[in-house]
Amino acid sequence: MAPSSTTQVLLSPAELSYLHSSLALSPPIRPDGRSSTQFRPLVAESDILPGANGSARVCFPDGTEAIVGVKAEVEKSRWRPSEEHGVHLGTSGGDLEMDNDDEEEEVSGKSAGKGVGENSWAEISIEIPGFRDDDALPVFLAAMLTEALLACGELKDRLYINRGFHWKLYIDILLLSQPLSYPLPLLSLTTHLALLSARLPKLKSELDEDPLFDDDWDASAYLYPRDSAGKRLYRPPVTLLVMAVGGNIIFDPTTEELAVAEAVLAVSVGDSTSSPKAPSAPSNLRLLSIRTIDPPSRLTPPGVANSMNTATGGSAPTSSQDAVAEREGMEQQGVWNPPRGGMRRKLVGKMIKTVVEEGGVAEEVLDGLAAVES
């Protein structure tokens, strides 16, 4: 279970209860009047750091803002004796043969290029004001983003240069503001944009030579390659925060909404390129990972029902355990009761469907981000 969000929302049990019941309506009424799948407007720009390979800045209207820089460095690969490559020992007589081997490999190289990448080639580090880099929140967020990033295998393979070398990708995420709300979606969107704008210098050397690069930056190629028409072949993943109140599924929750969430999921979505689909196919998104997030609502103070209030003639429970047990059985309107327990399978299924389905939320988000000009 993920560590919960950081700042406590200062809302009274009555307010929480009001918020909860309006969100539980069908259709839900959100405090800012958005529909359940509507996102808040955000300000985004990419390619803002001239010295980085790719970069982006995203600013949410609640004041949270993040910058992501992507840097790529050439790194020597560890030597892996694998069946695929065989073991070549440098014998002086065998030079010619070796050359032939290389050529053969190159011919079949297009398909053999799959799976050559390693997970250690991408590294995400997150800086959040007020947190040490080994605090739970940044570490957990980084782990979640890395998980999503590596789940689509194309990126790793893209970092492969040759048998001796690979690109090592450093993604530095910097949250500029205090983490007012759970920062995962912000960081994910910014990372997504930065990766979209990231470019790698053009390789001039061939095969297993020590890599040499074109010194013209304009000749560099996008990390996420595009086809001749300029359309990206596949895109970096996004991780969305989805919450449920009652039977309702609500996207892009604000801090206040999170304070009454019954369940929160982090859903990572990416392009599915593994199945050869016609490029015209509108959506071929796939689910990369799901993580449940401990909703902050669990830590909110419960409202006190009349039956438990001595002032209103009720009888106060003798211990807190009793109080919890008593509240469990109660289903009383207007009294805030922090949610407990897990999610229903059906609900999870529904959430995923809303995200991934054709014309769903993820598609909308990805298309929106793609429109950000660099």
Partner 1 sequence: MTSLKRSYAADPNASNLASKVYVRSTKSGKVQKIVGELYLRQDIPCSSKLCSQCLSIAPADYKNEVQRFVLSETPAGTKRFPNGHYLVPDTNAFLNGMDLFEVETAFHDVIVLQTVLEEVKNRSLPLYHRVVSLTKNEDKRFYVFFNEFRLETYVPRRHGETINDRNDRAVRHAVNWYGEHLAQAVKTRRSARCPSVVMISDDRDNLKKAELDGISGLSLSNYVSGLDDANRLLDMISGTREERDRKAGKVELIYPEYFSLSKMITGIKAETLHQGIFNVSPYNYLEGSVQVPAFDRALLVLGRENSNRAVSGDVVVVEILPKDQWKAPSSKILEEESVNKNENADTEEGEAVFTERERRALQEEVRKTHGQSKEGRPQPTARVVGVIKRNWRQYVGHIDKDSVKSSAKQSRTQQTVFLIPMDKRIPKIRVRTRQAGELLGKRVLVTIDSWDRESRYPVGHFVRSLGELETKGAETEALLLEYDVQYRPFPKTVLDCLPAEGHDWKVPASLDDPGWIGRRDLRDLLVCSIDPPGCVDIDDALHARPLPNGNFEVGVHIADVSHFVKPNNAMDKEASTRGTTVYLVDKRIDMLPMLLGTDLCSLKPYVERYAFSVIWEVTADGDIVKSEFTKSVIRSREAFAYEQAQARIDDKSQRDDLTLGMRTLLMLSKKLKQKRMDAGALNLASPEVRVQAESETSDPVDVQTKQMLDTNSLVEEFMLLANISVAGKNYEAFPQTALLRRHAAPPKTNFEELANQLKVKRGMELRTESSKALADSLDTCVDPSEPFFNTLVRIMATRCMMSAEYFCSGTQAYPEFRHYGLASEIYTHFTSPIRRYADLEAHRQLAAAIEYEQLDQSLLSKGKLEAVCKNINVRHRNAQMAGRASIEYYVGQALKGRVIDEEGFVMKVFSNGFVVFVPRFGVESLVRLRDLGTPEPEGSFDNENYVLTASGSRDAKVELFQKVMVRISDEQEESTGKRKIRLQLL
- Contacting positions for partner 1 (CB under 8 A): 39, 41-45, 50-53, 72-74, 76, 90, 92-93, 95, 201, 204-206, 208-218, 220, 368-369, 371-374
CB-count exposure of residue 68 (10 Å: 0-12, 13-18, 19+): buried
Min. distance of Cβ 209 from partner 1 in angstroms?
4
Two structure tokens written together for 4: 């919960």
Secondary structure element (H or E) that encloses residue 210, with its range: none
Which of residues 119 and 374 has its CB atom nearest to partner 1 in the complex? 374
Which of residues 97 and 358 has its CB atom nearest to partner 1 in the complex? 97
DSSP class of 232:
B
Omega into 253 within 30° of 0, i.e. cis? Answer: no
Residues 6+ apart with CB under 8 A from 40: 32, 34, 60, 61, 62, 252, 254
Which of residues 214 and 328 has its CB atom nearest to partner 1 in the complex? 214
The 3-state DSSP class for residue 2 equals strand
Which of residues 27 and 93 has its CB atom nearest to partner 1 in the complex? 93
Distances (CA, A) of 345 to 295, 334, 351: 17, 27, 10
Opening angle at CA 224, ends 223 and 228, nearest 5: 110
Min. distance of Cβ 47 from partner 1 in angstroms?
8
Cα 293 from Cα 343, distance rounded (Å) = 11
Rg over CA atoms, the chain: 25
Q: 245 — phi, psi (to 5°)?
A: -130, 125
Which of residues 98 and 323 has its CB atom nearest to partner 1 in the complex? 98
Residue with tokens 């993040």: 66
Min. distance of Cβ 57 from partner 1 in angstroms?
9
Which of residues 78 and 345 has its CB atom nearest to partner 1 in the complex? 78
Q: 78 — phi, psi (to 5°)?
A: -70, 145
Which of residues 128 and 200 has its CB atom nearest to partner 1 in the complex? 200
Min. distance of Cβ 45 from partner 1 in angstroms?
5
Amino acid symbol at 40: R
Min. distance of Cβ 147 from partner 1 in angstroms?
25
Min. distance of Cβ 128 from partner 1 in angstroms?
24
Which of residues 51 and 282 has its CB atom nearest to partner 1 in the complex? 51
Min. distance of Cβ 53 from partner 1 in angstroms?
6
Q: Where are the alpha helices (DSSP H) in 5-160?
A: 13-24, 95-107, 109-112, 136-151, 154-158
Min. distance of Cβ 201 from partner 1 in angstroms?
4
| CA count, 13 A, side-chain hemisphere, 82 | 9
Q: Parallel, antiparallel, or unpaired for β 238-245 and 65-76?
A: unpaired
The 3-state DSSP class for residue 7 equals coil
Min. distance of Cβ 221 from partner 1 in angstroms?
12
Which of residues 211 and 360 has its CB atom nearest to partner 1 in the complex? 211
Min. distance of Cβ 275 from partner 1 in angstroms?
29
Which of residues 249 and 372 has its CB atom nearest to partner 1 in the complex? 372
Q: Is the distance from CB of 28 to CB of 22 less than 8 angstroms?
A: yes
Two structure tokens written together for 24: 């539980």
